């Protein structure tokens, strides 16, 4: 089956620093990748959708300059949280979809803690 | 606006059957997904319904009625490992997933 990896699985950083999270599709070409954020006991909140080679489409209320998304290849997308603050602490999950396939395959998630 | 409703929490007994309901109002419909999510982990795919009726897959079944904007996930022969959150998600006309808040299922021995 389709496998999506995320790295790192957990990261702790200090306020004001930037953190990069990688999302890779291991055995398929991910023409579309999605980045979600999830607060404790809440559902997934879509942050942005990115198509390979194009700029990401951000959801309303998500700051483009704070959450930088790059989808440079068909197997890799990155999310960079810039100038992180404690309120950015959350569980970030990526998912990937192959062209013509409706199903999204999820990565294992990244737990970000900003101190 | 778009809306997905499902119960916040349900409790059931090991070995029993439980039905988790989901109602939706979305801009267009391209199918309904059920995902299972254990605490601290990413969601895993359970089922996909795009036509009316019941889809059975082992202990899990999913039902859809498009005219009623309604689906349910049926879990049989409950096991302790089934304790998790169950997320209902609808794919809208733009092929984006609209997520429900999830139903936390607690299984008691």
Count Cβ neighbours within 10 Å for each residue of A51-88 and write b for 16 or more, e otherwise: bbeeebebeeebeeeebbbebeebbbbbbebeebeeeb
Residue B21 has pLDDT above 90, yes or no: yes
In this prediction, residue A41 carries a pLDDT of: 76
For residue range A40-64, list pLDDT tens digits in order.
878 889 999 998 888 899 999 999 9
Check: CB of residue B73 under 8 Å from CB of residue B47. Answer: yes
Contacts of B100 in chain A (CB under 8 A): 43
The pLDDT assigned to B95 comes to 83
Q: Can you tell me the mean pLDDT for B35-51?
A: 92
Distance (Å) from the C-alpha of residue B95 to the closest C-alpha of chain A? 8
Q: Write out chain B residues lying below 8 Å of A102, CB-based.
A: 30-31, 48, 91, 95
Chain A CB contacts of B95 below 8 Å: 102
Residue B104 pLDDT exceeds 80: yes
Residue B1 reports pLDDT greater than 80: no
| Nearest Cβ partner for B97 among A104, A107, A109 | A104
Q: Who among A46, A49, A108 is closest to B42 (CB)?
A: A108
- pLDDT one-digit tens code per residue, B60-92: 999 999 999 999 999 999 999 999 999 999 999
Question: pLDDT in tens for each of the 115 residues of chain A?
Answer: 789 999 999 999 999 999 999 999 999 999 999 999 998 878 889 999 998 888 899 999 999 999 999 988 899 999 999 999 999 999 999 999 998 888 889 999 999 999 9
Does the beta-carbon distance from B40 to A111 stay under 8 Å?
yes
Chain A positions in Cβ-Cβ contact with residue B48 (cut-off 8 Å): 102-103
Using a CB–CB cutoff of 8 Å, tell me whether B87 touches chain A: yes
Per DSSP, the three-state class of B105 is: strand
**CB crowding A22-50: b at 16 or more within 10 Å, else e:** bbbbeebebbbbbbbbbeeeebbbbbbbb
């Amino acid at each position: 089956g389709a496998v999506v990896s995320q790295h790192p699985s957990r990261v702790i950083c200090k306020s004001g620093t930037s953190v990069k999270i990688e999302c890779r599709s291991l055995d398929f070409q991910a023409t579309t990748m999605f980045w979600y954020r999830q607060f404790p006991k809440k559902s997934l909140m879509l942050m942005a959708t990115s198509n390979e080679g194009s700029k990401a489409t951000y959801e309303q209320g998500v700051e483009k300059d704070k959450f930088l998304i790059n989808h440079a290849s068909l197997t890799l997308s990155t999310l960079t949280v810039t100038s992180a603050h404690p309120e950015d602490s959350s569980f970030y999950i990526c998912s990937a979809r192959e062209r013509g396939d409706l199903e999204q395959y999820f990565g294992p998630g990244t737990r970000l803690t900003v101190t | 606006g778009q809306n997905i409703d499902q119960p916040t929490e349900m409790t059931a007994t090991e070995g029993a059957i439980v039905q988790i309901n989901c109602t939706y109002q979305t801009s267009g419909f391209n199918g309904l997904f059920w995902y299972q999510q254990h605490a601290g982990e990413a969601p895993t795919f359970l089922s996909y319904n795009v036509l009316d009726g019941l889809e059975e897959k082992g202990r899990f079944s999913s039902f859809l009625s498009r005219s009623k904007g309604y689906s349910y996930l049926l879990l049989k022969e409950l096991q302790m490992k089934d304790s998790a959150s169950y997320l209902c998600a609808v794919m809208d006309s733009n092929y984006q997933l609209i997520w429900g808040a999830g139903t936390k299922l607690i299984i008691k021995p």
